[in-house]
């Protein structure tokens, strides 16, 4: 089974600071890690390979330093890694990111299963997995909490929904996004870490993957961040006194006047 895992390098914090001048994330001084949900995606790929055999390729789109995330994946035990990095990919929204990733996947060519995290801890949209599947013209199953069985191109999955689970049967090729309940990611082995240190990281630019410049990066992004800000935290508090109906009326008046703190 040929498995592709998409991983993203993210800042090691959910409390990202924003530069009010440029409306971009302040990354200085913040350590980078593999997006936590992508660690579960990597682990599931390795467990699947251990059960049914095959090859695992890992793909990331990012700046040159994202190669570190790929080294970590090698240390965990994956076979091949690819860094998609080009100035033309910068400023991508989720549509342009998905386009670029799908072009990278098409270049890898052989795949039965693509595994993504359910979302990232920085962008947080959860859009990239389904968008990649759409671009490749393959089905997608999101929020997968267990791969029950894979045999002869058939896959049985358990997915989390709001009030329970769904069991789904699908055919490969397929893209899944995974939740943290699916497994416990392993620590890299010493041998893996040594291998990762020495590994050459293949880097593909827009030309290498045949990406059209108007569909990648900022020029391929129909959405633009106009303003980004952290909500102001106010500790002002007003206690409404009276009977419940009186309090409700007072509250409604305030809501109508837009005077609720």
Size, binding site for ligand FAD by CB under 6 A: 31
Question: Beta strand pairing status for 174-178 and 203-204?
Answer: unpaired
Q: Report the nearest approach of ligand FAD to the CB of residue 191 (Å).
A: 26
State the binding string over 110-139 for ligand FAD (x if CB under 6 A, else -): ------xx-xx-xxxxxxxx----------
Residue nearest to ligand FAD (CB): 123
Query: Does 60 help bind ligand FAD (rule: CB under 6 A)?
Result: yes
Binds ligand FAD (CB under 6 A): choice among 2, 35, 85, 183: 35
CB contact at 8 A, 7 and 61:
no
- Per 3-state DSSP, the chain is made up of helix, strand and coil in percentages (nearest 5) of 35, 25, 40
Out of 225, 230, 247, 255, name the contact with ligand FAD by CB under 6 A. Answer: 225
Q: Is 85 in the site for ligand FAD (CB under 6 A)?
A: no
DSSP 103-123: HHHHHH---SEEEEES--SSS
Which member of 34, 38, 73, 99 binds ligand FAD (CB under 6 A)? 38
Rounded distance, CA 57 to CA 5, Å? 6
Give the integer Cα–Cα distance in Å for 205 and 209: 7
Q: Classify 206 as helix, strand or coil.
A: helix
Residue ranges binding ligand FAD (CB under 6 A):
6-8, 35, 37-38, 41, 59-62, 91-94, 97, 101, 116-117, 119-120, 122-129, 223, 225
């Amino acid at each position: 089974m040929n498995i592709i895992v998409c991983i993203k390098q993210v800042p090691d914090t959910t409390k990202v600071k924003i530069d009010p001048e440029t409306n971009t994330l302040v990354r200085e001084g913040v350590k980078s890690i593999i997006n936590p949900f992508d660690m579960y995606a990597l682990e599931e790929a390795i467990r699947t390979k251990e059960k049914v055999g095959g090859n695992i390729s890992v793909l990331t789109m990012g700046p040159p330093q994202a190669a570190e995330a790929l080294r970590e994946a090698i240390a965990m035990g994956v076979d091949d890694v690819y860094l998609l990095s080009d100035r033309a990919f910068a400023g991508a929204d989720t549509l342009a990111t998905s386009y670029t990733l799908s072009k990278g996947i098409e270049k890898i060519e052989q795949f039965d299963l693509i595994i993504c995290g359910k979302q990232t801890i920085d962008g947080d949209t959860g859009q990239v997995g389904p968008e990649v599947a759409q671009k490749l013209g393959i089905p997608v199953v999101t929020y997968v909490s267990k791969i029950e069985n894979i045999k002869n191109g058939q896959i049985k999955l358990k997915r989390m929904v709001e009030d329970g689970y769904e069991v789904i049967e699908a055919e490969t090729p397929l893209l899944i996004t995974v939740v943290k309940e699916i497994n416990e990611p392993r620590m890299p082995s010493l041998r893996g870490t040594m291998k990762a240190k020495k590994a050459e990281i293949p880097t593909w630019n827009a030309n290498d993957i045949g990406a059209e410049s108007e569909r990648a990066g900022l020029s391929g992004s129909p959405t633009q961040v106009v303003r980004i800000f952290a909500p102001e935290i106010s500790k002002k508090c007003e206690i409404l006194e009276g009977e419940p109906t009186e309090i409700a009326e007072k509250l409604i008046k305030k809501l109508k006047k837009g005077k609720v703190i």
